[in-house]
Structure 1
Amino acid sequence: MTVRDALNSAMREELERDKDVIILGEEVAEYDGAYKMGFAGIAVGAAMAGLKPICEFMTFNFAMQAIDQIINSAAKSSYMSAGLVSVPIVFRGPNGCSAGVAAQHSQDYGAWYASCPGLKVLAPYSCEDCRGLLKSAIRDPDPVVHLESELLYGQSFDVSDEALSSDFLLPIGQAKVEREGKDVTLVSYSLGVGTCLAAAEELSKLGISAEVINLRSLRPMDEETIFQSVKKTHYLVTVENGWPVCGIGAEICARVMETDTFNYLDAPVLRVTGADIPMPYAQNLERASYPDTHNIVTTVKMVKNIQ
């Protein structure tokens, strides 16, 4: 099953299961204009009125035009009404780097949305992630931002019979250890998980056993899974395709430093991130602007002081 099929099947099953679930967004019907602010506002209002909208953005770069509806209306209404107003809405679409779409269409908004109280932020990697997390998001009573990778849409994954069940759900806020290891912890989300798994395979050839954690959820973040892994491996490298400043890796570093997990580190935490620049259009520069397997392997060797 491809990631695209996993997402479509999850939405189809939830539409059939609950008559209140609806889809709004681009490419749903005839094109009459890219009115992000309009349909996002309609979706938020529909959620307040009792429906359960799935608001689809062609790319989360376009969601910037609807940021007021997401950050102020959807995320804040429950707090400001003392819980009287519920906004059960899912904002979903491609996020992060893609191929050949340059600076305005390749941005990773994971850290942006994860910094906002009132939102739950998910970033799936595999088909299992996409089915289980999207279905949980649709059934959640609060606004959820579901960040997908366009570069993963066509990728195929093995899917268990359990994950194919129409009742399959994954808990929001729970990470997954994709690969167990004992020498270093690699933490990432979405597209970065695949890069970490490839790097772990390369590291194994060097005799380094890397544990790979798939965050799945950026807010709430499953810090306990990270802490337990670091206490076992004593080394931590975070990986993300977004910018380094105020990123997810920086947040993980802070949380490790603020707890007793810091005492278990044998070296400083290192981050592997996207370049701190707008995404270039030229293919060679684009490829150099987000992490690859070599970057991660080099960083692990650095943190473990291996020449």
Structure 2
Amino acid sequence: MATTSTQRFGRRLASSVSRRRLSSSAGEIAVQRSQNPSLNLCSAINQALHIALDTDPRSYVFGEDVSFGGVFRCTVGLADRFGKSRVFNTPLCEQGIVGFGIGLAAMGNRAIAEIQFADYIYPAFDQIVNEAAKFRYRSGNQFNCGGLTIRAPYGAVGHGGHYHSQSPEAFFCHVPGIKVVIPRSPSQAKGLLISCIRDPNPIVFFEPKWLYRLAVEEVPEHDYMLPLSEAEVIREGTDITLVGWGAQLSIMEEACLDAENDGISCELIDLKTLIPWDKETVEASVRKTGRLLISHEAPVTGGFGAEISASIVERCFLRLEAPVARICGLDTPFPLVFEPFYLPTKNKILDAIKSTVNY
């Protein structure tokens, strides 16, 4: 991933955000680009957490090292403003962090739990999939932990290796009862995180740590929410549909631009919410283009791209003009020095675009 490519993508997103209408508690508010400050994704997350704590006294932020700002500094300033009874450190025990969050949410609070790296969410897997996801169902809707939001930085970072670069979203997409959300940019991260915190369901919110400092765009200062489970067509085209989420969108955008130079018109969709995902938007696009390419950093086998592919083949079989393409991470542990070979790069995506269109 090139730094300049990511920054250019952020500026293009800022331009599109200025034309987009964002929902808020006061209704639809037109975003005026000239009135909004530029923030990176880390600062946008911080702003969303400030708003969540400020607007709801039942909200709490907790996790490893969050009281001084966390390793990525996303929670800096929160403890100073809201006090250490609402923003506090926990022991280094992910199972305990999520278990505590389930109990806190079950008592009617807004529990915002941070897992320091998505790679270390696995000790909490049982709590998430066997407790949080099933809490409402097993009680016949008498009780729930819908106020639980689990934040976790995920994906490549350039030097993380196999313990700090994983993309585990597909594991949680298999479990009914939780939602999985991944933003692509600062303005999206703020609006989607606020929506997650206020949603009546437990949610896993993966933050692309590669973009914490690199993605910069103008972000509305006010309190606003973006709808969950609604994909967004961020680039319209006629020849092939591309679907992705998170940091991969910037790479896919670069591939779309290069494909355009070769006369190929690409439609690019940001899924944003993986579960429940917006099948209708993707289906409508594929019915128009007749081709589909999916890209994500997670390994290709069992990745969420496989679910998208299967669903679209079922819905659009007679309209497809080529096999569905998947450009994803490799079926290996995430490497360190070989990271450039592992990741789904612009050139890999561009080659797949050409191959699919010329099938």
Which TM bucket (shorter chain)?
over 0.9
Distance in 2 of aligned mates of 1:293 and 1:175: 22
Whether the aligned pair in 1 keeps the contact of 2:63 and 2:90 (CA below 8 Å) is no
> Which residue does the alignment assign to 1:132?
191
Query: Taking structure 1 as reference, are residues 219 and 24 closer, same or farther at Cα in structure 2, changes over 3 Å only?
Result: same
Partner of 2:27: none
What SS does the corresponding residue of 2:277 show, helix, strand or coil? coil
Pair 1:32–1:22, CA change in 2 (3 A) = closer
TM-score (norm 2): 0.81
Question: Would you say 1:276 and 2:331 are equivalent positions?
Answer: yes
Is 1:119 the counterpart of 2:178? The answer is yes
Across the aligned residues of Structure 1 and Structure 2, the Cα RMSD in angstroms comes to: 1.4
- How far the C-alpha of 1:89 sits from its partner, in A, is 0.3
SS across alignment from 2:108: coil
Q: Does the Cα contact within 8 Å between 2:90 and 2:97 map onto a contact in 1?
A: no
Q: Deviation at 1:92? A: 0.5
1:9 aligns with 2:62: no
Match of 2:256 in 1: 200
What is the total number of aligned residue pairs between the two structures? 300
Higher strand share: 2
Q: Are 2:358 and 1:300 equivalent residues in the alignment?
A: no
**Which residue does the alignment assign to 2:104?**
46
Kindly provide the CA deviation profile for residues 33-78 of structure 1, in whole angstroms up to 9, marking residues without a partner as x.
4121222211111111111110001111111111111111111100
Secondary structure of the structure 2 residue equivalent to 1:50: coil
Q: TM-score, normalised by structure 1?
A: 0.94
Correspondence for 1:173: 229
* 1:207-266 Cα shifts (integer Å, max 9, x gaps): 11111100000001001111111111111110111011111111011101212x221111
- Structure 1 equivalent of residue 288 of structure 2: 232
Structure 1's unaligned 5+ residue stretches are none
1:63 aligns with 121
Asked if 1:164 is matched to 2:221, the reply is: yes
Distance 1:38 1:110 in 2: 21
Once residues 24 and 69 of structure 1 are traced to their aligned partners in structure 2, the CA distance between those partners, rounded to angstroms, is 16
Query: 1:156-208 CA distances to partner (integer Å, 9 max, x unpaired)?
Result: 34336xx4321x11111001111111111110000111111111111111111
Q: Aligned partners of 1:39 and 1:273: how far apart in 2?
A: 31
Name 1:104's counterpart in structure 2: 163
Aligned partners of 2:64 and 2:90 also within 8 Å? no
Report the Cα distance in structure 2 between the residues aligned to 1:123 and 1:29, rounded to whole angstroms: 24
Structure 2 residues not aligned, in runs of 5+: 1-38, 69-88
Distance 1:28 1:5 in 2: 14
* Distance verdict in 2 for CA 1:223–1:5, change over 3 Å: same
Give the match for residue 189 of structure 1. 245
Which amino acid in structure 1 is aligned with residue 50 of structure 2?
R
CA displacement 1:117-175 (0-9 Å, x = unmatched)? 00000011011210111000000111000011110111234336xx4321x11111001
User: In structure 2, do the counterparts of structure 1 residues 263 and 159 end up closer, same or farther at CA, with 3 Å as the change threshold?
Assistant: farther
